[in-house]
């Protein structure tokens, strides 16, 4: 076989491997019980070699899951050595420091056998809506208050499910049917991956994946390093102030670009909080690496090789490296701000690539209370409705409205929320004027009004940010509008912490808008006119921010 032909065949197998893990993820998406997974795609899936290197990830999924799951498989191998694995085994954990950052993410890893030999490992993650405890909020003061804590365990042993573990999981959730269903969905997802990989290996005559894994990782590493070589070398610093739980927090980053790769150091960042907004280091690495990849190497497939040029450090005991037993349930609120924090540094090196700041963290609406829905074998419910703010404007394009960046999950359809939980969503629309003005306008946030559908109060587990400190504009662009939440009767609610919405009262949510990029007064008049015509900006906003009036248009 010629070297050129061998390279072509390797590339074909690499592409096929990506299709295998995408089918793995689609299986999870289509069989999941939780709306946040099946409707929004809050999941990850990937295949790993016997060294624990992620060699392919599904396109479907979130960076926080994928990039932290990339390290989780190595932890599974340490707890369950390869020589002890059997066909039909499945391993599970939701350990925040060994998994993907909080107890609500179940990680399952399944060994894949071909002709009786272990050839690979498949791993997947999905968000479980409720796993007991105080729930998906910020109120906990240690991890054990936040829900059931599953260490590294066998979910299945040679094909036999661990019924004792499943009974414990069912008994420790407000959503027993949904939660158990999601566990089986995760297991099925990995099973499909194993089946498709064996089919692929038979087709190409492979007895192992070592050569292919080396090819994938080395070529990905080389591709990223080639992009790093094009960047200005040096050290760049930036900081961001965010709301925090009970006081503002500082995220401080130092990015060093060198011939050896890119390193990020968060020294100077605020110390860990008493409450559940702390971030385990694995999640910090995940979103920092994703932010770097977006700017430096967006065309390179994500795997162990493409992640290797990036190193991330956060001081232990800081909000970005909070050790056990810190409360970490809402780690996404801060973790999803890290791409914007890193962008502040990279804007000094490659300003032509860097967007303005956006909403950052998801504005997930998590409600609990009594229910009249009989679909989940319980008289109480818990639901997380995914909602988003706007993204920051890009150097040459407007920001995206009501779009989750950096998480990438989709918003939950209104009809789904209302069918599985006793809530009525009276209003869900773009927030006029919420996108920061600029030569490129920031994406718009949303206005959402929610009420209980039955004669019972709703419990809101608030975990929101960008209320006191809105997204900042770049290169002369204006800030995006801050978020807010209140009752229709006028009372303001806190951005974090469990609060009550009385029966008959409406909750009004304003998600943040993305910031603008560039001087608003150089924005093309036809774009301002189109925004005005489409209701994205008001006549007052057009005149105030852009100097645009109907008389000028005439």
Question: What does the pLDDT look like over 80-130, one tens digit per residue?
Answer: 999 999 999 999 999 999 999 999 999 999 999 999 999 999 999 999 999
In this structure, the number of other CB atoms found within 10 A of the CB of residue 254 comes to: 17
Question: What does the pLDDT look like over 159-177, one tens digit per residue?
Answer: 999 999 999 999 999 999 9
Per-residue pLDDT at 379: 87
Please tell me whether the peptide bond between 103 and the residue prior to it is cis, using omega within 30 degrees of 0.
no
Query: Whose structure tokens read 């189109």?
Result: 530
CA distance 286 to 339: 10
CB 416, CB 494: distance < 8 Å = no
Q: What is the mean pLDDT of residues 141-161?
A: 98
CA distance 422 to 383: 10
CA distance 464 to 103: 19
CA distance 350 to 236: 11
Q: How far is the first Cα of the chain from the last one, in angstroms, to the nearest whole number?
A: 70
Per-residue pLDDT at 4: 84
CA distance 168 to 148: 9
Question: Which three-class secondary structure string do you get for 127-146?
Answer: ECCCCCCCCCCCCCCCHHHC
Cross-strand bridge partners of residue 93: 107
Question: What does the pLDDT look like over 193-218, one tens digit per residue?
Answer: 999 999 999 999 999 999 999 999 99
pLDDT tier, 375 (very low <50, low <70, confident <90, very high otherwise) = low
CB 384, CB 421: distance < 8 Å = no
Give which of 55, 49, 112 is closest to 85, Cα–Cα: 112
What are the start-end ranges of the H helices in 88-242?
Answer: 163-171, 176-204, 210-228
Q: What is the mean pLDDT of residues 31-58?
A: 96
Half-sphere exposure of 41 toward its Cβ, with a 13 Å CA cutoff? 17
Indicate if the pLDDT at residue 349 is higher than 60: yes
CA distance 554 to 551: 5
Per-residue pLDDT at 397: 98
DSSP character string of 467-490: SSSPPPPBTTPPPPPPPEEEETTS
CB 491, CB 429: distance < 8 Å = no
- Joined together, the tokens standing for residue 276 give 């559940």
pLDDT tier, 551 (very low <50, low <70, confident <90, very high otherwise) = low
Edge-to-edge strand ranges of the sheet holding 249-258 = 234-242, 249-258, 261-265, 310-313
Task: Look at strands 365-370 and 380-385 and give their pairing.
Answer: antiparallel
Indicate if the pLDDT at residue 552 is higher than 80: no
CB 41, CB 186: distance < 8 Å = no
- CB neighbour burial string for 315-324, b if at least 16 within 10 angstroms, e if fewer: beebbbbbee
CB 542, CB 532: distance < 8 Å = yes
Indicate if the pLDDT at residue 553 is higher than 80: no
Indicate if the pLDDT at residue 390 is higher than 70: yes
Local structure of 76: helix, strand or coil? helix
pLDDT tier, 378 (very low <50, low <70, confident <90, very high otherwise) = confident
Residue ranges covered by each domain of the chain = 3-221, 355-554
Question: What single-letter DSSP state applies at residue 189?
Answer: H
Q: How far is the CA of 182 from the CAs of 73, 109, 188, 461, 538, in angstroms?
A: 20, 15, 10, 22, 44
pLDDT tier, 373 (very low <50, low <70, confident <90, very high otherwise) = confident
Indicate if the pLDDT at residue 231 is higher than 90: yes
CA distance 287 to 308: 14
Question: What does the pLDDT look like over 483-497, one tens digit per residue?
Answer: 999 999 999 999 999
Give which of 70, 55, 75 is closest to 14, Cα–Cα: 55
Q: Please state, rounded to an integer, the average pLDDT across all residues of the chain.
A: 96
Cross-strand bridge partners of residue 252: 239
Per-residue pLDDT at 476: 98
Compute φ and ψ for 462, nearest 5 degrees. -75, 135
Give which of 426, 418, 481, 422 is closest to 455, Cα–Cα: 422
Indicate if the pLDDT at residue 5 is higher than 90: no
Q: What is the mean pLDDT of residues 513-522?
A: 98
Cross-strand bridge partners of residue 474: 517
Local structure of 464: helix, strand or coil? coil
Compute φ and ψ for 386, nearest 5 degrees. -75, 125
Q: What is the mean pLDDT of residues 73-78?
A: 97
In this structure, the number of other CB atoms found within 10 A of the CB of residue 232 comes to: 9
């Amino acid at each position: 076989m010629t070297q050129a032909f061998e390279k072509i065949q390797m590339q074909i197998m690499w592409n096929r491997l990506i299709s295998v893990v995408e089918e793995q993820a689609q299986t999870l998406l289509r069989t999941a019980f939780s709306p946040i997974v099946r409707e929004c795609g809050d999941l990850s899936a990937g295949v790993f070699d016997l060294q624990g290197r992620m060699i392919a990830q599904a396109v479907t999924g979130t960076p926080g899951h994928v990039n932290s799951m990339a390290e989780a498989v190595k932890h599974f191998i340490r707890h369950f050595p390869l020589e002890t694995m059997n066909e039909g085994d499945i391993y599970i954990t939701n350990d925040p420091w060994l998994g993907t950052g909080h107890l609500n993410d179940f990680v399952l890893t399944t060994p894949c056998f071909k002709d009786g030999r272990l050839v690979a490992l498949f791993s997947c993650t999905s968000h479980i809506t409720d796993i007991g405890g105080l729930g998906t909020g910020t109120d906990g003061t240690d991890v054990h208050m936040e829900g059931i804590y599953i260490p590294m365990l066998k979910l299945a042993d040679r094909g036999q499910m661990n019924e004792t573990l499943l009974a414990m999981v069912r008994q420790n959730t407000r959503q027993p049917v949904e939660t158990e269903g999601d566990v089986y969905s995760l297991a099925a997802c990995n099973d499909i991956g194993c089946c498709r990989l064996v089919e692929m290996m038979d087709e190409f005559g492979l007895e192992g994946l070592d050569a292919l894994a080396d090819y994938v990782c080395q070529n990905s590493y080389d591709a990223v390093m080639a992009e790093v070589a094009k960047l200005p070398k040096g050290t760049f610093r930036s900081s961001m102030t965010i709301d925090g739980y009970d006081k503002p927090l500082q995220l401080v980053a130092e990015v060093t670009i060198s011939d050896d790769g890119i390193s990020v150091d968060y020294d100077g960042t605020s110390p860990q909080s008493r409450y559940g907004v702390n971030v385990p280091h694995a999640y910090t690495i995940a979103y920092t690496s994703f932010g770097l990849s977006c700017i430096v190497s967006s065309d390179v497939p994500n795997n162990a090789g493409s992640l290797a040029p990036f190193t991330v450090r956060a001081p232990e005991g800081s909000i970005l490296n909070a050790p056990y037993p810190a409360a970490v349930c809402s780690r996404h609120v801060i973790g999803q701000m890290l791409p914007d924090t890193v962008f502040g540094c990279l804007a000094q090196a490659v300003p032509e690539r860097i967007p303005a700041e956006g909403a950052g963290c998801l504005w997930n609406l998590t409600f609990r209370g009594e229910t009249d829905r009989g679909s989940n074998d319980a008289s109480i419910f818990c639901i997380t409705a995914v909602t988003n703010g706007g993204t920051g404007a890009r150097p040459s394009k407007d920001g995206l409205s009501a779009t989750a960046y950096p998480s990438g999950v989709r918003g939950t359809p209104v009809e789904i929320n209302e069918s599985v939980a006793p809530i009525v969503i009276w209003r869900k629309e773009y927030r006029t004027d919420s996108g920061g003005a600029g030569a490129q306008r920031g994406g718009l946030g949303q206005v959402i009004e929610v009420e209980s559908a039955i004669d019972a109060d709703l419990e809101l587990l608030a975990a929101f940010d960008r209320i006191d400190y809105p997204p900042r504009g770049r290169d002369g662009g204006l800030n995006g509008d801050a978020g807010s939440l209140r009752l229709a009767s006028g009372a303001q609610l806190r951005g974090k912490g469990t609060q009550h919405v009385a029966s008959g009262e409406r909750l009004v949510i304003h998600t943040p808008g993305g910031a603008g990029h560039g001087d608003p007064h150089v924005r093309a008049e036809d774009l301002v006119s189109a925004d005005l015509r489409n209701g994205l900006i008001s006549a007052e906003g057009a005149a105030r921010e852009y100097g645009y009036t109907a008389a000028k248009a005439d």
